[in-house]
Structure 1
Amino acid sequence: MNKYYLILAMTSTFSYATPQYIDLKEDTSLNGQLDPSYTLSSSELLRMQGDFILKSDSEVSKGQYQHNDNVIEFTSTNGNTKKHYLGKRVIDGLYKGTWYSNALESGDFELALQSNTGLHGQSCDDVKIKDPSSQSGIHAIELTVDGNPTTANVYCNMDIDQGGWTLVNTREKNGRESHARTQELTDPNVQKNHYIDAATWQALKTNATQIMVTDGNNDNYVVFDFTQLDTANCQVLVDDLVNTPVFHAEPGCTYKGSDYTYLSNPSNGIYFTTVSIYNLDFKPSNRNGNYGTLSSGKMYYSPLNIQIYIR
């Protein structure tokens, strides 16, 4: 995920700056207009007079508003890659322009103050970053689904592990045969055996780095990182949540013995909600309650219902 965070330790130049949220849309085709397949990142911008600065874990952006705020210019650095943006004001709070990089890439961009766009971000995590007081429940987010920008209603859990979790799947024990596809999953208490359609799942996955499973009790949860799931030798994180297992790592891939880690067992519908952690070389990044603790070893848990979230 490309998320920006307010720099907490700033030079004295920015000591009296006030933050504001912006949305940056950009594509990779320089043709004077933003393509439908653009990417969107939400940022907290710290401004002092004409200068501003942003930062993420891997990227730093610095720039200026110029000519009475009619022009915006900034440069971002990500490792050895530098991108230069130059745009002009179209209306108050909205800028359009082009970007170029030292890797000989280029594209178009739009930068907008969120007070002008009304956008809520691309995920529950974005919602939480913009408003730390956000509560669990239904929130509107912006996604690009099948190349088309759209607004979707999603259910967010803002309580577990600092919040920001987007609900993508609910499963009932022995519920495999009645598992139902839906475009919007907004009530985990009513939609107890539903999963987000593949196109929306792909759009949500693009902006996520973790998956979390809970039985509906905020004290019981387990979290895996996407980077780890990409290495699962039997089943990486699925492209369609209709599938079982959701992921599976095991020498031999037999579901026998005591050396596997998986979410949902394909050979027995009773285990549709099961999380097994027997492969201690494939442990979660965080877990709590009935799913064990970071210091615990092997674990098997198959509750009546589970909710699957990503962040």
Structure 2
Amino acid sequence: MNCELAHERIVLAAYGELPDEQAHELDRHLAGCSECSVERQQLLALKTLATAHPVVEPHPNFVARSRMRLEEALDALPPKSWYERFGQRILNNFSNLQAAPVAALLLLIAGAGAGTLGGYEYAQARAAHAAGRVPVVVAANAELAQPIAAAPAEVANISSIVRHPNSEIVDVTYSQLVPQHIEGSLDDPAIRQLLMLASQNASSQGVRDDSVGLLAAECRAGHACQGEGIRDALMVALRYDKSEAVRLKALEGLQLYVAQDMRVRDAVLEALLNDSDARIRSAAISELEPVAADTGVRQVLSTVANSDHNPHIRTVSREALSRAPVFQ
């Protein structure tokens, strides 16, 4: 057994999923390999640390939102044509052919036919699902099944179905995403939490723009933006948001903290080096200028001033360096 295979089996053994014969083979390998033995000890120590902390169940609304986003993403995928599915199934089945070629070939043909038919039915079902999901109350008699006309919100999931003994009555337990409304000041912790959540709303750029703008304004005004939370949300938006307007607002909100928070400084330096928008990079230079005497900041500005592809960015970087004090 080589070390690469041993590392894979160490993980399976740690969770009790390795067959006995492979476990014995792994033990023999570990007896003569100190590197793999250390690997197993580290994994077991990590497993022990993980079990020492309680498992926190995600909030039901978070699970429901995640499920809905996954369904939306799956609905957005273009369906594969029947010949693509047929070809993929053939390739998959060929990779599993063993010593009985005739029987395997017969199984391949039967499986390909069934797979093609099943794939067609699945595609039809997905198309109907994407066209519009109508939640239905489960009833013992199919003729009694009716849409949930009274449900004000979309059904997130169905958790249980129980039929009453000797009865036609069925109990269905389901969860809904119920729209809520809250009003409060920007100092309200609940409002702040919702704004931070909205700053990562992938489905609406307008919501992200509004939320990041409000959070940035709070930080520029110095209103309770000293700790984690709002500042972290702005750094995430600066690094990863696809909208230039959102990233620029996040950068403006972090301006007061470039000098005192190394994490903010690193995020602004990343924006200077990596952002695709010249306005954001130019604004990043302006925010870094008060700390241009810092060795790391000066090094990045020097690199940008000498080799950046954008002439304006090179010029602005040189000007910032010329105004920065130099400590001997």
TM-score between both structures, scaled by the size of structure 1: 0.27
Larger radius of gyration: 2
Structure having the larger proportion of residues in helix: 2
